[in-house]
Structure 1
């Protein structure tokens, strides 16, 4: 079902937290929502690949990359894994690469920017913890909604209505 974050905010003002507007839209799916799963890494995308290699139906992966603009944490091959495994979307507080190819995939992707350099491959980082950026705490098990107007988070699933 379609939704608008503006309508969700209007109907659920006391339930939602709104991320600061700093993310660009990259994936082929402009609107997406799902249960939050989290990863915290620094210029290393092994855990991102590992997570998106797992089943993700109904989930959104939120990656705290520390806001680094020095390399990409996801490219087209990892994004294709996410599609194959049913993920709804990925929000990266960092960069992606292969943006044209990712734009052709049926997945929602938000990131700070693009960068042609791939990340390190050491496997360092943490999973399934509260991560904070863009003025919002992203808590595993809570819900994220993203569309052309922004990203919102709620402790509970929100009732979706048809978008205008």
Structure 2
């Protein structure tokens, strides 16, 4: 039997957003490095001062395999909190992916790692190491509150946060939304006539 996190994997974030009534999606600037990247798993939260990555390193060490590291980097984009070496550590520690409300660097090196990274911006400047940061606390990432254990789902459209208390309800609503969308596609998007029938039904 698959875990509920696994059941969310590959489900479109757009359908999940519809199930959540358009809330809990991160800022649209936070996108995957590669359009093919997908994640769905438990949030391991990290709160760091702008441009400091000590907490990121601590999070990579403490997170469990399969977790998604979610970093509140304060949206700061002048210094990267992770480059290809740090991302490589996360991969080798068994994390599923990283979401950073902040900057990364070493873009080509990270692409070569074949590891999902969602981020706000890239820069050339390295991080500093001045403060330990906080682990497994409620954070704000991309304008959304994220608590430890919330489910994070990401794809080419962006990142969405599913509160852990509502995960089963959201999953069922998402599956129903996908089924409804598929039925609409099969009914209306097959010819000019059916497309026109749909347009008339919603516009007239």
Instruction: Name which of 8, 17, 20 aligns with 2:27.
Output: 20
Range moving further from structure 2, 48-57 or 123-132: 48-57
Length-normalised TM-score, structure 1:
0.86
What is the aligned length?
Answer: 162
- Computed over aligned residues only, the root mean square deviation of the Cα atoms, in angstroms, reads 2.4
More relative contact order in 1 or in 2 (CA 8 Å, sep 6+)?
1
- Contact 2:52-2:130 at 8 Å conserved across structures: yes
Provide the C-alpha distance between the structure 1 equivalents of 2:81 and 2:13, rounded to a whole number of angstroms: 26
Q: Which has the larger radius of gyration?
A: 2
Instruction: Name which of 44, 52, 58 aligns with 2:52.
Output: 44
The residue aligned with 1:88 is 96
Q: Which runs of 5+ in 2 are unaligned?
A: 1-8, 183-204
The residue aligned with 2:134 is 126
Deviations along 1:40-87, one digit per CA (max 9) or x if unpaired, are 112211221122134532211111111112211001111111111111
Length-normalised TM-score, structure 2:
0.70
Alpha-carbon shift at residue 134 of structure 1 (Å): 2.5
Alpha-carbon shift at residue 90 of structure 1 (Å): 0.8
Structure 1 stretches (4+) deviating beyond 6 angstroms?
Answer: 159-162
In structure 2, the CA distance between the partners of 1:24 and 1:16, relative to structure 1 (3 Å rule), is closer
Alpha-carbon shift at residue 146 of structure 1 (Å): 0.4
Q: Which runs of 5+ in 1 are unaligned?
A: none
Q: Specify which structure has the higher proportion of helix.
A: 2
In structure 2, the CA distance between the partners of 1:15 and 1:129, relative to structure 1 (3 Å rule), is farther
The residue aligned with 1:75 is 83
Provide the C-alpha distance between the structure 2 equivalents of 1:36 and 1:95, rounded to a whole number of angstroms: 19
- Contact 2:153-2:159 at 8 Å conserved across structures: yes
The residue aligned with 2:42 is 35
- Contact 1:66-1:94 at 8 Å conserved across structures: yes
- Contact 1:47-1:123 at 8 Å conserved across structures: yes
